[in-house]
Structure 1
Amino acid sequence: MKTYIALFRGINVGGKNRLPMKDLAALLDGLGLQNVKTYIQSGNVVFRGKPADTAQLSKRISAAIEASYGFAPWVRLLDTPTLDRAIRDNPYPEAQAAPNTLYVNFLAAVPPCPNLDDLEKLRGPGERFELKRDLCYLHAPEGIGRSKLAAGMERLLGVPMTSRNWNTVAKLGELASGD
């Protein structure tokens, strides 16, 4: 069995695409996945399953949600080494002291043509970002609510992504290593 981390995009946000974590855990259990653990309501799940192609398993999970709930969320599926790499490669370790200002953007793929120049132009005071393969780190000391950089990141990177703050990334790392 292998440990996986599923990051769901856009569920339980603003009253849309409601999916209680208890129901999500039961759905994943019904797909034959084991030791399913959810973390907060925004769609973070750690589970064990047979080694599989992560893209195919992600599509299977999304299709099962669509069949049961009427919407198909994008799911970024990671294995434990990928999450460990995201934690280990953090270019802003000093920002971990204020973990709600540090974000990891998990990208669908390595961006083929990221527009880093335009991203740089969107940076607000004190904001920093670094693209590392299929991860883009963002340190936004003033938060991401009004950040033009955060708002434009996906469009300018050119690939789908889902973001998690450092608290969530660290907690998922703990849950994944606890298996």
Structure 2
Amino acid sequence: MKNYILLFRGINVGGKNLLPMKELVPLLTKYNFQGVSSYIQSGNVVLKCTSQPDALVRSIVLDNFGFTVKLFSLEQAEFTAIQEANPYKIFEGKFVHCYFCNDNIELNQAKVDKYLASSESYTVIGKVFYLHAPEGIGRSKLVANIEVCLSQPATGRNLNTINKISTMLTKLA
């Protein structure tokens, strides 16, 4: 069995794509996923299973909640490597964000240059866009246009959430 991290995108926002974690966790357990736990309603789940869980989880959500979920999954080793590679981990967690993609990132550099604030800095490593936004992401034009800049769908998590997920993984061992 392998440990997986599931990062849901675009759920429980503005009354759309409602996916209550309190309902999802026991449902995933019913389908033989082990050690299932979640963190906050934005959709962070850790679990154990024998094979890549994406297709089954998407099917479970569609059958039980009535919509097709956007999902990013990582094996524990990949998640740990992403966490360790973060060049901004020394900064306060709420100002550091990781944007996860399914494919290696090929930046639309013209868009990044257009939207990047002078206080923001970023690094791309493989499928992850690391962002340090010391003024927060609420008004960040880069964040508001992140998928155009990354040329693909993405889901973001701040460093505090990344660290919490890492703690949850230690309980799966």
Letter of the 1:165 partner, please give it.
Answer: N
Aligned length: 172
Partner SS, residue 124 of structure 2: strand
Question: Is 2:118 the counterpart of 1:134?
Answer: no
Contact 2:94 2:158 in 1 (8 A): yes
> Given the alignment, which residue of 63, 67, 70 partners 1:71?
67
Q: CA deviation at 1:154?
A: 1.0
CA RMSD of aligned residues (A): 1.2
Q: Distance in 2 between matches of 1:159 and 1:41?
A: 24
Give the letter for the 2:25 counterpart: A
Q: Which amino acid aligns with 1:172?
A: I
Q: Are the counterparts in 1 of residues 95 and 134 from structure 2 also a CA contact under 8 Å?
A: yes
Q: Structure 1: which amino acid aligns with 2:12?
A: N
Match of 1:164? 157
Aligned with 2:135: secondary structure? coil
Q: How does 1:24-173 map to 2 (within 5 A)?
A: 24-50=24-50, 52=51, 54=52, 57-95=53-91, 98-111=92-105, 113-173=106-166
Counterparts of 2:2 and 2:116 in 1: how far apart (Å)? 39
- Separation in 1 of the partners of 2:122 and 2:54? 27
CA distance in 2, matches of 1:76, 1:128: 24
TM-score by length of 2: 0.94
Consecutive aligned runs of 4 or more in structure 1 exceeding 6 Å deviation = none
Question: Given that residues 147 and 153 in structure 2 are in contact (C-alpha distance below 8 angstroms), is that contact kept between their aligned partners in structure 1?
Answer: yes
Query: What's the offset of the Cα at 1:178?
Result: 2.3
Q: Which runs of 5+ in 1 are unaligned?
A: none
1:171 Cα deviation after fit: 0.6
Instruction: Please give the secondary structure, in 1, of the residue aligned with 2:118.
Output: coil
- Superposition TM-score, scaled by structure 1 size: 0.91
Query: Aligned partners of 1:116, 1:94: CA distance in 2, in Å?
Result: 26
Gaps of at least 5 residues in structure 2 are none
